[in-house]
Amino acid sequence: MNDLLELTRFRSALPDDPIARDRARDQLLSRIQDRQLQDRGVLDREPRHRRDRPWLVGRPGPTRRLVLAATAAAAGLAAVVVADSVVVRDEPPVGASAEAATLLNQAADRAIGSVDPVVGEDEYLRVTTVAVNRGSFVGQTGVEASWQFTYTEELFVPGDQAKEWVLRRGPEVPYRPEDAAIAEEVGGADPPRRGFTERALNGAFFGSPPLGNWGSPTPEFFASLPRDPEELLDQIRTFAADAGPSPDGEALVIIADTLRTGFVPADLRAALFQAAALIPGVELVDEQANLNGQVGVAVGRYEPNSGDRQEIIFDPETGMVIGEREVLVDRGVGPLLPPGSVSSWTAVTTDVVPATMVDQIPADPVE
Amino acid sequence: MSALTEAAVAAGGSDAQLIERSVACPEDFALIFDRHAASLHGYLRRRIGVPAADDLLAETFLIAFERRTRYDLAAADARPWLFGIATNLLRRFARAEARAYRALARTGVDRVAASLEDEVAERVDADAARRTLAAALAKLSRGDRDAILLYTWAELSYDQIAAALDIPTGTVRSRLHRARRRLRAALDHDLSEE
């Protein structure tokens, strides 16, 4: 029997659907129109500023300040374009794609059904974060050099309020050998940060207590938030205001940043998953996303105003958050990060450890 | 110059020329859709049915549009590029695709065809050879399946499959060889049992 003939016959008589094709064509035309508006309005696009850990907000390095200023400028322009394209579009899409929404809502159900780790008075909740970030430096020639560095951080939140929180961060090291080479070549850029260990009551590291808002959350702030997904998303959007390249994009960034803190209570985690499912443009990106060895699904949102995609990676079976990552979709940054590269990611795990272990952490910087 | 490229030039330039123009004039990219959407749509529907195929068709062209500045202008025909993007997107559905083949093998009802056809057609059971073939397709590795289906359903050449999957032509040859051997073995085995 001829295998190729059989295979050629297999599902060979499926009916055509030109109307479905027209819908796809309309989507393409709408994207083309957006791009034309963008080309007229925005000359330069910068990545949005990644919110650093709340306790580090007060001390951005030179590179971060540079990016911040540029982002503020780009955000102003981008807002004009967004307002413009709303007029052009027939009707705005409502919520995430069906696939993404199903997975997010499933994760929400599982999160609701899960139990937060119980942290005893003589125990700590340990949040371990492995992060890869992008460093960049614009040299005198105006060419942007870019590389990636990584660090590991452990945050210990005490079960006993009267005890100090402990933050222990390893040194920033080049992610790959080629990153080291570029970072060295450009010189003059930020020197990699050294590791440190900080202790403070109520998480007030470096003398500044967390503000208790989306940018600098506390357990009390989390407790005060609504659990209704629509109300929650409203609050997030209000906080995002006109930050970031677009309101929907910024809302998802805030959700991702919040989830990766690692100490979001289960019911709020569920509401955040549900809120993400309400954001237009959120879609399933990868069913088998591997982040630092943990596999989950990645849902994300492509942001046309930056050319990047913000993703949240989670386990839909357990409702646990694995981390988040940012992908350069239609732009590259230097030779090491061509379009399609993951430009930054954060993987987070939590467990409960005895106080005796935390007490033994030396005060010296981590090397 | 191939017949296809010749015709393309008559209709406003090769794909490569159109894509090059679309960098400055994005609206020209719509012509790439008009040239290739039907065959890509058919291929996607054949693999995963609706509504997934309709979504992937749109997504493929949105991604292609965003990546048009990086198109290899030496490639006159954009089909390998477009099918390559679509193949990457299909990975998300690899498990669902295999499940549908297995269900067809087991029950004789093809979910993918059923998603597209009216109720009467839906009830028509597949013949034994189709069920056997479905079972064998489910067992192929993803890479082998991509290669053999791009060859038979998308009608791409060895070189075009190599370009689409970004693998050497020799690898395409070995994948097709292996896939065909497995499909033949399944069909022959099935025949000898009856």
Residues A225-245 pLDDT 10s? 999 999 999 999 888 776 677
Residues in chain B within 8 Å Cβ distance of A25: 30, 33-34, 37
CB atoms within 10 A of CB A142: 6
Subunit contact A7:B183, Cβ cutoff 8 A: yes
A286 close contact with B: CB closer than 8 A: yes
Q: What is the pLDDT of residue B89?
A: 87
Alpha helices (runs of H) in A42-132, residue ranges in sequence order = 62-88, 98-113
Tell me the C-alpha distance between B112 and A86, whole Å. 36
* Cβ contact A14–B113 (<8 Å): yes
Q: How far is B159 from chain A (nearest CA, A)?
A: 19
C-beta atoms of B27 and A27 within 8 A:
no
Nearest to A11 among B67, B113, B129 (CB): B113
| 3-class state of residue A125 by DSSP | strand
**Which residue among B37, B134, B187 sits closest to A21, beta carbon to beta carbon?**
B37
For tokens 């780009």, the residue is A74
| Dist CA A281 CA A158 (whole Å) | 38
pLDDT of residue A158: 93
Element housing B113 (H / E): helix B111-114
CB atoms B133 and A6 under 8 Å: yes
* Residue B29: how many other CB atoms lie within 10 Å: 22
Interface check for B30 against chain A (CB to CB < 8 A): the answer is: yes
CA distance, residue B33 to nearest chain A CA (Å) = 7
CB A150 within 8 A of CB A343: no
Chain A interface, best mutation among B133, B144, B188, by max A CB count within 10 A:
B133
Grouping H, G, I as helix, E, B as strand and the rest as coil, residue B13 is coil
Give the C-alpha separation, A44 to B190, whole Å. 62
Q: Which residues of A327-341 are buried (b: 16+ CB within 10 A; e: fewer)?
A: bbbbbbbeebbebeb
- Determine, for residues A10 and B133 on separate chains, whether the beta-carbon distance falls below 8 Å: yes
Chain B interface mutation, best of A32, A37, A301, highest count of B Cβ atoms under 10 Å: A32
pLDDT score, position A255: 95
Question: Can you tell me the distance from the alpha carbon of B113 to that of B140, in angstroms, rounded to the nearest whole number?
Answer: 20
Q: Does B152 touch chain A (CB under 8 A)?
A: yes
Residue identified by tokens 């497995």 is B182
Low-confidence ranges of chain A (pLDDT < 70): 1, 38-93, 136-145, 183, 185-192, 242-243, 365-367
User: Could you tell me if B145 lies within 8 Å of chain A, comparing CB atoms?
Assistant: no
Q: How far is CA A122 from the centre of its chain?
A: 33
Chain B contact present for A40, CB below 8 A? no
Residue ranges of B 70-129 with Cβ closer than 8 A to chain A: 70, 91-92, 95, 110, 112-113, 116-117, 129
**Nearest-by-Cβ selection for B112 from A1, A11, A21:** A11
Length of chain B: 194
- Mean pLDDT, residues B1-27: 75
The interaxial angle of helices B79-90 and B52-66, nearest 10 deg, is 130
A19 interfaces chain B, CB cutoff of 8 Å: no
Amino acid at A191: P
Closest to A51 measured CA to CA, from A202, A256, A222, A198:
A256
Which residue, among B43, B66, B104, would best test binding to A if mutated, counting the most A CBs under 10 Å from its CB?
A: B66
**Please, is A191 exposed, middle or buried when counting C-beta atoms within 10 Å of its C-beta (0-12, 13-18, 19+)?**
exposed
Q: Check if B139 contacts A (Cβ < 8 Å).
A: no
Q: Please answer yes or no on whether B54 and A24 come within 8 Å at the CB atom.
A: yes
CB-based burial label for B128 (10 Å; 0-12, 13-18, 19+): middle
**Quick one: which of A26, A157, A164 has its CA closest to A89?**
A26
Query: What ranges make up the beta strands (E) of chain B?
Result: none
**CA separation for the pair B103, B89 (Å, rounded):** 22
Which tops the pLDDT comparison, A132 or B192? Answer: A132
pLDDT score of B193 more than 60: no
Which chain A residue lies closest to B122 (C-alpha atoms)?
A: A14
Task: Please enumerate in sequence order all residues whose Cβ is within 8 A of that of A203, keeping only pairs 6 or more positions apart, or say none.
Answer: A54, A55, A157, A165, A209, A210, A218
Residue A258 CA neighbour count, 13 Å, CB half: 32
Question: Tokens for A165?
Answer: 């929180």
Query: What pLDDT digit, counting tens, does each position of B34-92 carry?
Result: 999 999 999 999 999 988 899 899 989 988 998 898 899 999 999 999 999 999 889 88
Give A 54-83 residues with CB within 8 A of chain B. none
Residue A60 confidence (pLDDT)? 28
Interface contact flag, B187 A27, Cβ < 8 Å: no
CB-based contact, B158 to chain A, within 8 Å: no
pLDDT at B21 over 80: yes
Name A360's Cβ contacts closer than 8 Å, sequence gap at least 6: none
Supply the pLDDT for residue A280: 93
B55 contact residues in A (CB cutoff 8 A):
97
HSE (side-chain half, CA atoms, 13 Å) at B74? 1
Contacts of B150 (CB under 8 A, 6+ apart): B83, B87, B156, B160, B161, B164, B165
Give contacts of B46 with chain A, Cβ < 8 Å: 10-12, 14
CA distance A353 to A75: 42
Check CB contact under 8 Å for A23 and B45. no
User: Which of B27, B45, B130 is facing A14, going by the closest CB pair?
Assistant: B45
Q: Cα(A266)–Cα(A161) distance, rounded to whole angstroms?
A: 20
